[in-house]
Structure formats: structure tokens, C-alpha cells
Structure 1
């Protein structure tokens, strides 16, 4: 049974220079058309009644870029198809400055429990440079309003290793972020992705990104400060007070199934991954035609399931449970990965303790290299179930 759903709202008031997600400039008529198409897709997956969900995550883009009428229509659509009252975690992404009091009241009244805010950096000049519209003051105003109207589960996202960013600059941002004493924080190193403004500047030699050793030092400082402030690192880029870990994101890292709805959304259903059409006109046309705006479906075989169990599970600080791996695949992880584990242990990048395979503090700095070691030979499909 699929117990999680991701719903993509691809509209923004401004396109950030680093973002490669499916996104479009906000246009009132385009949003209206999109919501109609999105509801048709919802009906395809949930044809009748309200389906019980463990987690619902509405991301973007910027879901809170919608006007009040459109936001309420979206919330009603979700409420019509999913039992939000029994949902363990119902999250909305938001940009500082988008959340006026009326939108906050709407979110609260329709059962939204968690707000994830894209703050990125506490520096107005840097915010403008990376293409953000909000100011630091907006963060303070929005968090104050959210708290006043009963939102306790608030997370903020940060980005480090930004162009021209020094260690001292990042330390100041992190200190200001932690001064809110929120229950959850996410922090990501800037990735230069194709088809972004930053990528074009990078290709032209006009993007002065900090050296790798500075980036590593920022990450180590991040881990140290989060621990000092009682925010436990439960995943490579995520920190939380106990009980406030993102249940929806844990769906991904636990390699569990979820619906993906909206333009460019990815879903993971038994035996397959589904990738939706990205271009807005194509998505709207196909969703209105048959409710199935699918670009392609990728079969997920036993080999891929096993690999992803390791790739995703190792992102968690608790690592991969060998017992759960055995129950799921009827295989011993430390047998089929004996060579990989031997290599990684010798480098002190992973440990095997207490029934779990997990990254060490050093291994966290070399995550991608670690994950590559868990690619399997094709003949794994011949292994017994």
C-alpha cells in the first residue's frame, strides 16, 4: 500500500539562479489551468473516497506563490482525495515573504502541520545575488506569524558554499538560523546544475565558488554547531530535535513507495518509477485527456531495489539495518557486499556495528564515492529471493 504522496506546484514569482526543479513564472491563468489538470491526475490515482496517507508533501516551485483563492482550491483538492486528519505529517514548502496571515490561516484550517521555508542564507545582498526575492526581515516576520497561529513544526533550508562565500560568512548565517531554535534544519552544499543561470556563469568562468576544502570545513562546522544546539543529524543534510525528523523524506531514504503528482514529479510504485511530463502545456493537455501525464515509466528490478536500499539508507545516520535488508530481500547484506564493505572499512568510511551498516563522520564527506561501491553486477538477479 502506498502511504505517501508528493504534490508538485511549479510556480514561482522569480526563478532562483541555482534551481533546476520544474518551475515556471507565476501567471494566474496558468495556475488555474494547472490546478484543474492536477485534480484530474489525482482522480486517476485516487478515483473514489479519501485515501489514508502517512505523509503528504506539497513542494515546488513555490506552493505559497499561489493567490488566496488558488491556494484554497489546492487545499480543498488535497482534502477531497486524502484523509488529512489521519495523516501523520502534512507539509508545505514556503518562501519567506509569500506567507501573509490569511495564507497561514488557510494552511492551518486545512490541516497542514509542517512548514518548510526556503531561507538559504541570512544576507540580503547574497539573497539578491542568488536570485531570491525575500529579505531577512521576511523570515523573522513569517516565523513570528506561523508561531502565533499555532505552527510548531517549522523547518528552514540553508545553502552553503555559495559564490564568494567565506567560512566567516557561513558561520554568521548558521548562527542566525540557529537563534530561532527551530525543531528542524536542512543544509545543502550548492550544486551547479545544467540549465540554470549559475551553470551558464560557471561555464563562462564567472562563478567564484569556494574551494573544496572550504566547502568541507563548512560542512564540518555545520555538523558541530547543530549537535551543540541539540539538533541531531539524522541524514547527511538534515538535523532535527527528536521526534521532528521529516517523516516524508524518511519515506525516500527508507526506499518506500510514494505517489508523485504534478508537472515533472517522480513517483515510486511497486516495480516501477514514474516520471511526469515537465513542460506545462504538455502536462496540462495529457492530464486533462486521460489523467496520466507520464513522460516515461522505468521498471525497477531486484538489482535496482537492492542498490537503492543501500544508496538511500546510507544517507541516514542510523544507516542500513541488516535485519530489515534480510527480511526484504532474503539476502545477507554483508555477504553480497563483502568486497565493497572491506574496501570502505579500510578507508574508514563505513562501519558495521550493532546490526547496521553506516557512514562514519569521514564517510559523510565522500558520500558519492561510497555509494558507487554498492553498484552490483547484473547477475545479482539470479540470487535467491
Structure 2
């Protein structure tokens, strides 16, 4: 049974230089009309696909906290009316520090939001400026303090490494500052240069100077060792949590479970089919009005692709993939289907197996994408 929903708010006050998610500058946009279209999509989706019992809800963007207090309240009311129920265990909203006011935090709390994912990325003003971020370190501290005062203690901090101009000392400082905030979850990702971003255009012109790969690898190693000493367990390649505070919603993805995707540009996975929503606001709202659904792509996932996704999503987790779970889903052992790639990766020291589970080794974690490629395109007997 489907247990998760992702909802996309594409509006931003400022467009970050690295972001390739579906987003749009909020000024003079039809925000209220968009939120009304989202409610229609929620209603139509739950009417069409009835086999669900929501356990996790995640509101991402864009910047959900770019909405006004009234808009945020209306939207969250709609979410609770259509999707919310007593079985929801984790209700997360992404928050930008400079837009997450005390009043908006009260709105979040009043509407059942019990987890914040705070986009910090770095604590140095020079790096934040390069990233196109508009907050400062004081905004981060005040957001965390005000959330705790409101009774929201389950928070995650996002950090980035491998940034232009970032030194090891800078990254160490950011990690130490994040730890000082005493939040139970930290996510940290290396910078990826994506098309249609400011950073991509700069890189094409040779104007984006990034740290050497050795330095980036050293940052990742420092992150793992430092957070482990502080009691944060690395439960996924880029995610660390005090035990019990792992992201229940993201685990739905990594466990290859199905989920609703609501909003412009959102993706969903329901009844064995992946669907992609229209990204541009006008197209999204027109499709909702004319057809009830905003799908521009529908892909029934064949069994071979499901098994591939099971492997490369599951291997992101520290605990890896359970062969028994694989057999229960697909009727065959992963050690039989992927015998050769598994042997190759074990010989290289990038994979290991124990008690029916397959997982990345310490050496394999930084090379995850190379390992995942081994499971794509394997011909089944």
C-alpha cells in the first residue's frame, strides 16, 4: 500500500546558482491559483488511486516558506483535508532560514508539520553569496531556535561541499556550526553542476573554479568521521542521523516504494507506473483544469527496471539490500540475477555481503554511482 506523498512548491524569492529543480521567481506569479490547482490534483489523485494510507508527507521546492502566512496556512489546510490522517508519522517542510519567520513556524506547527528540512549549505557569507543564497548564519540560528521554541525539534540541516572557493577549513567550520545547533539530522551533498543553472553557464565559460577531487574526497571523509564521533549514524550515502531520526520519507524512495507526486514538475510512482507532471505553471494549471491530471509522461515500469531500481536505490542505504526482501518482491535472488556484477564489485572491495544483505563498503561509498551502473542493463536468463 502506498504510504508517501511529495508536494512541490516551485516559488523562490531568489534563484540559487546551482539549483536545477523546477522553480520560478515568485514575484507576480499566480500563487493562489496554483495552490488551488494543487488541491484539485490531490483530490483527483486520491479519488483515482484509492489504495493508500499516508505515513509521510514532504513539501519541497522551490521554497515552500516563500509563501505568505495565509498562503501557507491555506495550502497546509488543503493537504491535511485531502491527505492528512492520524497515520501520518512524519510531515516535513523544506525551509529557507531568511523566510522562515516565527509566524510561519507557528502556522507550520498548527497544521501538524513535525519536521523541518533547512537549506543552510554553508555558514560563510562569501560562499553563500557565490551560491546565490540570501540568508546569513544568524538567520540559521534564529530559525532553529524559534522552531524548537514552537515545539518542532525534528530538524535536518543541509550542507554542501566541493563548492567554488571552499577550503577544508571552511567545510570543517560549517560542520562544527551545524553540530552546535543540536539538530538530529544532517544531509551533506557534493556540488553537482547541472544544466540550465548559473554554475553550468560559468563552467562552460571556464569561470567556475572548483576544489580538486582529492580535496572533495577529504571533505567527505572528514564529514563521516566527525559526525560518527558525535553520534550521527550514516544511514545513507549523504544522510546522517541520531538513531531514531532518520528521514522516514526519503527511506520510502530508497526502499523503492510507491508515492504520490503533486505539483508542477513533480514525479510520482503509483500502481507500477512512473508519471511526470508538467513543469511550467500555466501548462500545469491548464492540464488540471482540462483533464484533471497534469501528466506529460507515463512510464509503466517493467520488472527488469524495478529490480535495477531496487539495487541502486537500496545500495544507497548503509544497511544495503536484503535478499529476502528482493525475493519477496520479485521471486528470485539478487545473488542469482546479478551474480557477475556482484562478484566484480566484491573483488574490487566496493561491495560486501553479510547475512543475506548486500551493501557498499567504506571504499565503495564515494564510488556509489560507478557501482550502481553495474546493475543496469543486465540480461535476465
Bin the TM-score by the shorter chain: over 0.9
Question: Is the 2:154–2:245 contact (alpha carbons within 8 Å) kept by the matching residues of 1?
Answer: yes
- What is the distance in 1 between the residues matched to 2:219 and 2:127? 17
Question: Is the 1:51–1:82 contact (alpha carbons within 8 Å) kept by the matching residues of 2?
Answer: no
Structure 2 partner of 1:5:
5
Structure 2 partner of 1:134:
135
Question: Is the 1:272–1:297 contact (alpha carbons within 8 Å) kept by the matching residues of 2?
Answer: yes
Q: Deviations over 1:290-348 (max 9, x none)?
A: 22111101120000000000000000000000111111111011111111111001110
Question: Is the 2:232–2:242 contact (alpha carbons within 8 Å) kept by the matching residues of 1?
Answer: yes
- What is the distance in 1 between the residues matched to 2:70 and 2:304? 46
Structure 1 partner of 2:35:
35
Structure 2 partner of 1:317:
318
Q: 1:180 to 1:340 in 2, by over 3 A?
A: same
Q: Which residues in structure 2 correspond to 1:247-286 (within 5 Å)?
A: 247-286=248-287
Q: What SS is found at the alignment partner of 2:20?
A: coil
Q: What SS is found at the alignment partner of 1:362?
A: coil
Question: Is the 1:59–1:92 contact (alpha carbons within 8 Å) kept by the matching residues of 2?
Answer: yes
Q: What SS is found at the alignment partner of 2:235?
A: strand
- What is the distance in 2 between the residues matched to 1:199 and 1:83? 39
Question: Is the 1:37–1:291 contact (alpha carbons within 8 Å) kept by the matching residues of 2?
Answer: no
- What is the distance in 2 between the residues matched to 1:246 and 1:377? 31
- What is the distance in 2 between the residues matched to 1:283 and 1:203? 31
Structure 2 partner of 1:235:
236
- What is the distance in 2 between the residues matched to 1:308 and 1:46? 25
Q: Which residues in structure 2 correspond to 1:361-376 (within 5 Å)?
A: 361-376=362-377
Normalised by the length of structure 2, the TM-score is: 0.97
Structure 2 partner of 1:101:
102
Question: Is the 1:234–1:317 contact (alpha carbons within 8 Å) kept by the matching residues of 2?
Answer: yes
Question: Is the 1:51–1:81 contact (alpha carbons within 8 Å) kept by the matching residues of 2?
Answer: no
Q: CA deviation at 1:28?
A: 5.4
Q: CA deviation at 1:376?
A: 3.4
Structure 1 spans left out of the alignment, 5+ residues: none
Q: CA deviation at 1:52?
A: 3.4
Question: Is the 2:2–2:51 contact (alpha carbons within 8 Å) kept by the matching residues of 1?
Answer: no
- What is the distance in 1 between the residues matched to 2:265 and 2:104? 25
Say which is worse superposed, 28-37 or 347-356, in terms of deviation: 28-37
Question: Is the 2:44–2:292 contact (alpha carbons within 8 Å) kept by the matching residues of 1?
Answer: yes
Structure 2 spans left out of the alignment, 5+ residues: none
Structure 2 partner of 1:199:
200
Normalised by the length of structure 1, the TM-score is: 0.96
Q: CA deviation at 1:84?
A: 3.9
- What is the distance in 2 between the residues matched to 1:240 and 1:117? 14
Structure 2 partner of 1:23:
23
Q: CA deviation at 1:19?
A: 0.1
- What is the distance in 2 between the residues matched to 1:84 and 1:141? 31
Structure 2 partner of 1:79:
80
- What is the distance in 1 between the residues matched to 2:378 and 2:164? 40
- What is the distance in 2 between the residues matched to 1:128 and 1:98? 17
Question: Is the 1:50–1:82 contact (alpha carbons within 8 Å) kept by the matching residues of 2?
Answer: no
Structure 1 partner of 2:56:
55
Count of aligned pairs between the two proteins = 380
Q: 1:57 to 1:101 in 2, by over 3 A?
A: same
